[in-house]
Amino acid sequence: MNHCISGQSPSQGATEARTESENAEVALQNIVEGFQRFRTEVFPQQKEFYRALASAQRPRAMFITCADSRIIPELITQSSPGDLFVTRNVGNVVPPYGQINGGVSTAIEYAVMALGVHHIIVCGHSDCGAMKAVMDPPSMESMPTVKAWLRHAEVARTVVEQNRCSCAGRDTLEVLTEENVVAQLDHLRTHPSVAARLASGQLFIHGWVYSIETAEIKAYDAEQGRFRPLDSEGSIPMATPRPRFHPR
């Protein structure tokens, strides 16, 4: 039985991107009705599956992506409950180790040490509001928390600004979004739990950028130093550095 949310169609009233804004009451009503449909129609058909999941999780990967409502990791990877250990925040940021003892760092350590995931995917996306804000710092003046958080993405802006010539002809937002993923992969490697397992070849890291409009994913190929399409042809692009130790 397929438990993934592939069959999910947009909720009633959202068959196409909503053009009119619904009021607060209708918004909540839609969410609650969705839950009721899940509980009465979907859940009973998959009871056994949920029973098996009830006492343990063994996710295939950790997935770090943006909080943007248009990105649904389980949908775009056709995953089921229990498959992905997901952490989301504005700008798919990974703070470097030691700076903030916050939610992302905690989730990384837990995923690697307690759950033993073999893959961590950092996934940015097209039309990202956070990346637009990084390109336009004055837009963040009224949002001091957003501004402080997105300092972790500043490195990407500097890289793009100082290397403008080599990305001529490409959209700055697109290049910045890719560079932000590369920067967050660098931050990810500063976490001791990640560094130790990368060094022994037990953990693999991936940097993706998902296009909302075309459903394409470009993945960072560390060896080639560029993003390549994640398609069925050829090898899967990897951002993982070479291991230096054998696992004990």
What type of residue is 184? Q
How do 217-221 and 119-125 pair as beta strands? unpaired
Closest to 227 measured CA to CA, from 181, 165, 194: 181
Closest distance to Zn ion from the beta carbon of 124 (Å): 7
Nearer to Zn ion, 71 or 107 (CB): 71
CB of 184 to Zn ion, least distance (A): 12
| Residues lying near Zn ion in the complex (CB under 5 A) | 66, 68, 128, 130
Which residue, 95 or 112, is less far from Zn ion as judged by CB? Answer: 95
- Shortest Å, Cβ 168 to Zn ion: 25
What is the DSSP code string of the chain?
---SGGG--PPTT-SS---SPPPHHHHHHHHHHHHHHIIIIIGGGGHHHHHHHTT----SEEEEEE--TT--HHHHTT--TTTEEEEEETT---PPTTT--SHHHHHHHIIIIIS--SEEEEEEETT-HHHHHHH-GGGGTT-HHHHHHGGGGHHHHHHHHHTGGGGTTS-HHHHHHHHHHHHHHHHHTTSHHHHHHHHTT--EEEEEEE-TTT--EEEEETTTTEEEE--SSSPPP--PPPP-S---
In the complex, minimum distance from the CB of residue 131 to Zn ion, in angstroms, rounded to a whole number:
7
Closest CB to Zn ion among 209 and 239? 209
Closer by beta carbon to Zn ion, 68 or else 179:
68
In this complex, which beta carbon is closest to Zn ion, that of residue 125 or of residue 191? 125
Residue number with CB closer to Zn ion (128 or 239): 128
Q: Which residue has the tokens 């029973």?
A: 51
Shortest distance, position 66 Cβ to Zn ion, whole Å: 3
Q: How far is the CB of 129 from Zn ion (least distance, A)?
A: 6
Of 81 and 129, nearer to Zn ion (C-beta) is 129
CA dihedral for 132, 136, 137, 142, sign (positive or negative): negative
Q: Nearest distance from residue 132's CB to Zn ion, in Å?
A: 9
